[in-house]
């Protein structure tokens, strides 16, 4: 359901959110930490920078930082910066008797709307592990779909 670009953008932004107190990491450092291929990451960071979500500085002492407070940056803003959701406005089959969305496309659009709503109310700050001193099971702040979509929305979509 989500493109590789979306996954990589969320990994990169979540990583940067956890680096706020540290100097701006380079593309190579982010690539190693997030396991995103460096060339692909550069493309993703350019898209995030164009959208005003990441500030990038070239040259010695350069690197990348979030341009917005992680507590005010939503998952939906990150997704829309790299691979926006496309809502279903009309039946793609363009059949004459489908004046409104058919049941299939109405259900698909409803699922997209639920994900969009969940992503619009989830901030990047919520995805960054709190510094507890305990060793995390995952070395990278994993972004699981179940953490982004409220449990009632997951149950309703089944």
The pTM assigned to this predicted structure is 0.78
Average of per-residue pLDDT across 47-76: 93
* 91: CB partners within 8 A, 6+ apart: 98, 100, 101, 102, 105
pLDDT band at 69 (very low <50, low <70, confident <90, very high): very high
Domains and CATH numbers, the chain: 4-157 (1.10.10.10)
DSSP state of 137: S
* 30: CB partners within 8 A, 6+ apart: 12, 15, 16, 36, 41, 45, 64
pLDDT band at 22 (very low <50, low <70, confident <90, very high): confident
pLDDT given for residue 1 in this prediction: 73
């Amino acid at each position: 359901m989500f493109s590789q670009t979306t996954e990589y953008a969320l990994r990169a932004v979540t990583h940067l959110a956890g680096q706020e107190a540290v100097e701006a990491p380079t593309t190579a450092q982010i690539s190693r930490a997030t396991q995103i291929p460096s060339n692909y990451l550069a493309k993703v960071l350019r898209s995030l920078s164009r959208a005003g979500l990441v500030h990038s500085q070239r040259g010695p002492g350069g690197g990348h930082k979030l341009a917005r407070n992680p507590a005010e940056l939503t998952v939906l803003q990150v997704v829309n910066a790299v691979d926006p959701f496309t809502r279903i406005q009309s039946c793609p089959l363009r059949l004459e008797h489908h004046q409104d969305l058919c049941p299939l496309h109405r259900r698909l659009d409803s699922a997209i709307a639920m994900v969009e709503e969940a992503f619009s109310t989830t901030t990047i700050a919520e995805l960054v592990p709190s510094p507890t001193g305990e060793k995390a099971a995952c070395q990278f702040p994993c972004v699981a779909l179940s953490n982004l979509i409220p449990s009632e929305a997951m149950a309703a979509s089944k």
